[in-house]
Amino acid sequence: MSSASSHEGKRVLITGAAGFLGSHLCDRFIKEGMQVVGMDNLITGDLRNIEHLFKLKEFEFYHCDVSNFIHVPGRLDYILHFASPASPIDYLKIPIQTLKVGSLGTHNCLGLAKAKGARILVASTSEIYGDPLEHPQKETYWGNVNPIGPRGVYDEAKRFQEAMTMAYHTFHGLETRIVRIFNTYGPRMRLNDGRALPAFIGQALRGEDLTVFGDGSQTRSFCYVDDLIEGIYRLLMSDYHLPVNIGNPDQITLKEFAEEIIALTGTKQKIVYKPLPQDDPKQRQPDISLAKKLLNWKPKVNRAEGVKITYEYFKSLPKEELYKQPKEFQSRK
């Protein structure tokens, strides 16, 4: 897309900067020649994801919670709101914080964008489609979400986020962008975050059986992180304000995926089956026709290549990371 020189002097705020996607976004926008302001409360983020950036003059970091009042001195040209727990193991433990960052946090970011005259992109999710009755899912599909189910705290937070963002666009004329992100993987994921890929690889590395929920026939579509970041960047720089799916439409059943991980890692362990969690989506596959047409974007990294890179990353982590338990989150109102 654009050359770095065209962004010289531009300044971008990235919330959730120490998270999996946020940290990759920081890298990308610094590479584009921008000044990056990272913000994170470190509930699920990890400073190790961005420690390589602290020595750069192009990077600054604020340790704060966007659900509270936020202020960033100086100009801002862009805001990318990526602060939120993003895996069930997190948002089931901190449901209220999850709802707050999607509502109050989004409101604060939109208010800041309005005050600064900045363009804002918010990170929505394929979860707004719930357990979809349409397959694959187009942006025009309204979804099949259980608002009071265990996943509702995340799904409804993101649905509200989209509604609030559209209201700011319509009422205040704010430049807004909405990306609906499908399953993404790559280096800097947490091994213990509960999602399928890190769970399978973590179990294989520990010599444990791989856990598949239900009969394993439910599908997922995995997009490598570099492809996703490219799609997000193109959407931010576009003139389109309605939601856009970014993901890889190459779907696979979770049973088949577990078998791929066993083959890749060479583990002798087997697959074990456990009951399917409530409201777990049976199918998840993006229709990316709009992204292809609008952004000239499609994923380039195939699953075999991306999973191998991710596996090597997990193998390189300190041994204690393999056995690290998920964070115990402090209970807050």
Cα distances from 197 to residues 8, 68, 310, in angstroms, run 37, 33, 9
Which residues on neighbouring strands pair with residue 36, listed in sequence order? 12, 59
The answer to whether 271 and 261 have CB atoms below 8 angstroms apart is no
Residue position matching structure tokens 């190790």: 48
Catalytic residue among 78, 91, 154, 311: 154
Are 197 and 185 a contacting pair, CB within 8 Å? yes
Distinct helix (H) and strand (E) counts, the chain? 10, 13
Degrees, nearest 5: CA angle 28-303-121: 35
Alpha carbon distance 21, 311 (integer Å)? 17
Q: Could you tell me which residues come within 8 angstroms of residue 212 by beta carbon, excluding any fewer than 6 positions away?
A: 254, 255, 258, 271, 272, 273, 274
- Largest pairwise CA distance in the chain: 58
166 token code pair? 């559209």
Distance CA 284, CA 134 (A): 10
CA–CA separation, 109 and 123 (whole Å): 12
List b or e across 52-68, with b for residues whose CB sees 16 or more CB atoms inside 10 angstroms.
ebeeeeebbbbebbbbe
Distance CA 297, CA 228 (A): 10
**Chain-centre distance of CA 116, in angstroms?**
25
Asked if 78 is an active-site residue, the reply is: no
Active-site residues, by number, are 154
